[in-house]
Amino acid sequence: MAAAAAVVTPSGLEDAVSRSHGEGAGEAVVERGPGAAYHMFVVMEDLVEKLKLLRYEEELLRRNNLKPPSRHYFALPTNPGEQFYMFCTLAAWLINKAGRHFEQPQEYDDPNATISNILSELRSFGRSADFPPSKLKSGYGEHVCYVLDCLAEEALKYIGFTWKRPTYPVEELEEETVPEDDAELTLNKMDEEFVEEETDNEENFIDLNVLKAQTYRLDLNESAKQEDILESTTDAAEWSLEVERVLPQLKVTIRTDNKDWRIHVDQMHQHKSGIESALKETKGFLDKLHNEIGRTLEKIGSREKYINSQLEHLVQEYRAAQAQLSEARERYQQGNGGVTERTRLLSEVTEELEKVKQEMEEKGSSMTDGAPLVKIKQSLTKLKQETVQMDIRIGVVEHTLLQSQLKEKSNMTRDMHATIIPESEMGSY
């Protein structure tokens, strides 16, 4: 498992970048190291290991049917929308694992609100978040890795996880056979070779007396030969040519091993001497260059002061012209605003005038046209006819009503007479 690396906050990185562009002379210039651009890859690998410790594969990925992220998922841009959704999901899950209640973000939620909620939770844990929230909207980058790594650490603290020292397995040491180096010749090896030669000779010669006789005869023959070879008949030029021809075959080459520590030490000494000699030369050149740059800077500073003193009145005139230009622009803006307002009023008046013209045309056409008078006459005649018809109907109805009243009255008088006559007759009896 990868060891937890020292976390560098993104705010510190941004401050280092801002300080690297020093505004004034004499300020300390702090620049980011060459490996700062790859720091988020290390943080991302540590984050994956911490998520595995939190069992995010069983509790988050399988429940939500999500694919496990790669080692550099949030460090490189692949799909910003998918990466932002994965970032919000992981952040919400880690906040819940850290003991805080946080609702799982949905696909159609406001991203700005979600990011602000995540950052507020991060600050509540005591973590710094001195960077704009828009850095998290892309779904990748060092700020995203930093936020998730901080939340994962808080979740591990909440569940009581502690980092322990690694335990290494005990391995049994085997006896290693050190290969002999061909370049090293020892006296023991030479003695062994001589002993082997003597044993071979002993195996070949068994009888010592015969050996003595043979050696005696050989000595006599060699003495006789040496007496014969006292005067040499060989040409010196031919001897030197033969020596040159055979000399390459007589050379003993010892193969050097690159793994030998002696070769490495020699190379280190050679490189050290080369660096020291080069350092002396380059130091002299650099000192000269430094002195020249210092003198050039002094000249530039003095020239700047001289130019500023000579062109001070022109600078003042330029500033006055700039002030006049700004005033003219303000007046132009004000006049432009009045022109636009008057143009709007003109358009409104023009629209009203068009409406009035259209109404006047309609009224003029209606006054010259006799069709309305004809319609009025026709309607009047129709009304008269309807009035006559209504009068006739009213008269018929009155006549019918009068007849019904008279008929009812006659019926009532007849009934009254009919009831009075029988009573008089009953009284006479």
Q: What per-residue confidence (pLDDT) applies to 393? A: 92
Asked if 89 and 104 touch (Cβ cutoff 8 Å), the reply is yes
Residues 6+ apart with CB under 8 A from 205: 211
Last residue of a domain, one of 369, 395, 417: 369
Q: Quick check: is 416 in a domain?
A: no
The C-alpha atoms of residue 129 and residue 132 are separated, in whole angstroms, by: 8
Q: Which pLDDT score is estimated for 418?
A: 82
Residue 216 lies in a domain: no
Q: Is residue 97 part of a domain?
A: yes
Q: Calculate Rg over the CA atoms of the chain.
A: 60
Residue of 110, 136, 108, 109 whose CA lies nearest to 122: 136
- How many structural domains are present in the chain? 2
Q: Which tens digit of pLDDT belongs to each residue from 174-194?
A: 544 444 444 444 444 544 554
CA 145, 146, 152, 156 dihedral sign is positive
Look at residue 185 and give its three-state secondary structure.
coil
pLDDT of residue 181: 44
Picking from 369, 390, 406, the residue at the C-terminal end of a domain is 369
In a domain, 252, yes or no: no
Q: Which helix (H) or strand (E) holds 229?
A: none
Residue 159 to residues 49, 147, 319, Cα–Cα distance (Å): 16, 19, 66
- Each residue's pLDDT, cut to its tens digit, for the chain (429 residues) gives 333 333 333 444 334 333 333 333 333 333 456 677 778 888 888 888 888 888 888 888 888 778 888 888 888 888 888 888 888 888 888 888 888 888 888 877 788 888 888 888 888 888 888 888 888 888 888 888 888 889 888 888 888 877 777 776 766 555 444 444 444 444 445 445 544 544 444 444 445 555 556 666 666 665 555 555 556 677 888 888 888 888 877 766 656 566 677 888 888 999 999 999 999 889 989 999 999 999 999 999 999 998 888 888 888 899 999 999 999 999 998 888 888 889 999 999 999 999 999 988 888 777 776 777 888 889 999 999 999 999 999 999 999 999 999 999 889 888 888 876 655 555 554
- CA separation for the pair 74, 154 (Å, rounded): 19
Would 346 be classed as within a structural domain? yes
Sign, CA torsion 241/246/248/251: negative
Q: What is the pTM of this model?
A: 0.36
Tokens of 341: 């307002």
DSSP secondary-structure letter at 68?
Answer: P
Tokens of 175: 């006896």
Nearest to 56 by CA among 89, 24, 34: 89
155 and 267 fall within a common domain: no
Report the first-to-last Cα separation within the chain, whole angstroms. Answer: 145
Going by C-alpha positions, the residue among 145, 115, 120, 107 that lies closest to residue 133 is 115
What's the pLDDT at 117? 87
As given in the structure block, the two tokens for residue 158 are 């909440």
| Alpha-carbon gap, residue 120 to 129, rounded angstroms | 9
Q: What is the pLDDT of residue 172?
A: 57
Q: Coil, strand or helix: which one is 207?
A: coil
User: Domain for residue 197, yes or no?
Assistant: no
- How far is residue 58's CA from residue 398's CA, in Å, rounded to a whole number? 101
Task: Report the C-alpha gap between 74 and 84 in whole angstroms.
Answer: 9
3-state secondary structure (DSSP) of residue 336: helix
Residue 94: domain span: 36-159
pLDDT, position 350:
93
- Spatial distance between the Cα atoms of 110 and 106, rounded to a whole number of angstroms: 9
- How much is the pLDDT for 382? 93
* Nearest Cα residue to 10 out of 154, 100, 122: 122
Structure tokens at 407: 């008929």
Cα–Cα distance measured from residue 256 to residue 254, given in angstroms and rounded to the nearest whole number:
6
Residue 113: per-residue pLDDT: 87
Last residue of a domain, one of 126, 159, 192: 159
Determine, yes or no, domain membership for 249.
no
Decide if 10 contacts 131 (C-beta within 8 A).
Answer: yes
Q: Are 155 and 41 contained in the same domain?
A: yes
Residue 134 lies in a domain: yes
Per the CB < 8 A criterion, the answer to whether 114 and 53 are in contact is: no
Look at residue 75 in the predicted model and tell me its pLDDT: 84
| Residue 148: other Cβ atoms inside 10 A | 22
Torsion on CA atoms 206, 207, 213, 218, rounded to nearest 10: 0
